């Protein structure tokens, strides 16, 4: 009998029932919607990286993303260029949620070559963990880093991010989060150089970006 109670299917079913109860309870309460600073006010200089240009986000893309605030910006450091994309959601109710880059990139014609989770020291007590992808499009290769930023948590796993959404809904009555994505071209197939540049870029903007997202 005790083994049955500890069986994975029963535990999964129990977890689903609890989750449904939490969502129903959260849905009947007015949600606490935090206010963040507009991402458009993010500085044009962060560390040794300088603003190059704003990226276009057309109306159709905005309608699909359903984000409350968007940033698509290019920064440069010497000959190096990096794209910073942030989709901020004040609430994830009513079907609003970040779209995973691992699903969006193939739809845009990019083919994933390899993936992993890496740690980046951003000057906090603990490094943050982010998803790392190498993708190709024809002869081009790019390095992609992305994670979910919820309050002071940087989370690589989508499932862990959803877990914390439930926890925050229960404890704080809020479901805000942001998808943060960095893309750099891999020049001459030199992944190590791209890794170093991407890591430096994340270190340069991470602390500043946190000031523009709800605490």
CA-to-CA distance for 95 and 211, rounded, in angstroms? 26
Q: Is the pLDDT of residue 4 over 50?
A: no
55 within 8 A of 71, measured Cβ to Cβ: no
pTM equals: 0.84
pLDDT at 39: 96
pLDDT at 70: 95
Kindly state the average pLDDT of the residues 96-124.
85
CA-to-CA distance for 25 and 19, rounded, in angstroms? 10
Per-residue DSSP letter, 64: H
pLDDT at 57: 85
Q: What is the mean pLDDT of the chain?
A: 86
pLDDT at 72: 96
Kindly state the average pLDDT of the residues 196-215.
95
If one compares 48 and 35, the residue with the highest pLDDT of the two is: 48
Residue 141 bridge partners (DSSP): 136
pLDDT at 108: 73
If one compares 34 and 67, the residue with the highest pLDDT of the two is: 67
Q: Is the pLDDT of residue 55 over 70?
A: yes
If one compares 8 and 189, the residue with the highest pLDDT of the two is: 189
Q: Is the pLDDT of residue 175 over 60?
A: yes
Lowest mean pLDDT among 6-10, 50-54, 77-81: 6-10
pLDDT band (50, 70, 90) for residue 60: confident
148 within 8 A of 98, measured Cβ to Cβ: yes
pLDDT at 52: 97
Kindly state the average pLDDT of the residues 94-107.
77
If one compares 92 and 94, the residue with the highest pLDDT of the two is: 92
pLDDT at 1: 45
């Amino acid at each position: 009998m005790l083994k049955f109670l500890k069986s994975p299917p029963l535990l999964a079913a129990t977890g689903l029932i609890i989750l449904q109860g939490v969502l129903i309870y959260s849905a009947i309460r007015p949600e606490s919607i935090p206010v963040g600073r507009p991402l458009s006010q993010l500085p044009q200089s962060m560390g040794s990286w300088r603003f190059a240009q704003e990226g276009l986000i057309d109306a159709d893309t905005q309608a699909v993303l359903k984000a409350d605030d968007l940033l698509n910006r290019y920064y440069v450091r010497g000959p190096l260029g990096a794209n910073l994309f942030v989709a901020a959601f004040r609430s994830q109710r009513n079907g609003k949620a970040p779209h995973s880059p691992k699903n969006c990139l193939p739809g845009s014609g990019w083919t994933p070559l390899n993936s992993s989770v890496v740690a980046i020291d951003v000057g906090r007590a603990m490094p943050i963990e982010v998803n790392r992808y190498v993708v190709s499009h024809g002869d081009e290769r790019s390095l992609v880093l992305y994670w979910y930023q919820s309050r002071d948590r940087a989370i690589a796993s989508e499932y862990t991010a959803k877990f914390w959404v439930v926890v925050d809904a229960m404890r704080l009555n809020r479901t805000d989060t942001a998808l943060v994505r960095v893309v750099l071209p891999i020049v001459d197939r030199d992944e190590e150089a791209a890794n170093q540049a991407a890591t430096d870029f994340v270190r340069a903007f991470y602390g500043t970006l946190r000031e523009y997202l709800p605490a």
